[in-house]
Amino acid sequence: DTEVTQTPKHLVMGMTNKKSLKCEQHMGHRAMYWYKQKAKKPPELMFVYSYEKLSINESVPSRFSPECPNSSLLNLHLHALQPEDSALYLCASSRIFGGANVLTFGAGSRLTVL
C-alpha cells in the first residue's frame, strides 16, 4: 500500500460547525503533515507530526486542531472557521521527518466555509 487516503473529498460547513478531516497511511511512515493549498498557489505547511508527536505548528490559528491518534492516522479538527479558510487541505507522509525524505501526498479534502 503506497497511498495516503483522505476523507472526506469535499466538505461544506458553516462558520459555527465542528467537523474533522481524516488521513490514513499504511506505509509505516513516522512523519505526517497537514498542508493548506489555495487556488493557484503552492502547498503551505500547517503542522508536522513526528513519531505521533507534534513537531511543527506554523503559527496556525487555534480554530484548526490537529490530532495524531496513532502512527497511521492523522486528523484535523475544524471549529469556528472563516470563509477565507476555504481551501484544499492536503495530508502527506514521509518515512521520517527531515532531510531528504520523499513526501507522499493524499488527494486532498476540498473545504468550503460558508
Partner 1 sequence: GENVEQHPSTLSVQEGDSAVIKCTYSDSASNYFPWYKQELGKGPQLIIDIRSNVGEKKDQRIAVTLNKTAKHFSLHITETQPEDSAVYFCAASSGNDMRFGAGTRLTVKP
Cβ 51 to partner 1, closest distance in Å?
14
Q: Number of residues in contact with partner 1, rule: CB under 8 A?
A: 22
Select from 14-22, 60-68, 74-82, 96-104 the region that touches partner 1 (CB under 8 A): 96-104
CB under 8 Å to 15, separation ≥6 — which residues?
Answer: 80, 81, 82, 83, 113, 114
Does residue 83 touch partner 1 according to CB under 8 A? no
Q: Of 68, 90, 111, 113, which one interacts with partner 1 (CB under 8 A)?
A: 90
Q: Of 12, 15, 56, 114, which one interacts with partner 1 (CB under 8 A)?
A: 56
Q: Of 43, 74, 81, 113, which one interacts with partner 1 (CB under 8 A)?
A: 43
Give the Cα separation of 99 and 89 in Å (integer).
Answer: 23
Read off the C-alpha cell for 30. Answer: 513516522
For residue 66, say if its preceding peptide bond is cis, omega within 30 degrees of 0: no
CB 35 within 8 A of CB 67: no
Does residue 104 touch partner 1 according to CB under 8 A? yes
Q: What is the DSSP letter of 85?
A: G
- Which residues in this chain contact partner 1 in the complex, by CB under 8 A? 4, 40-43, 45, 48, 55-56, 90, 92, 97-100, 102-108
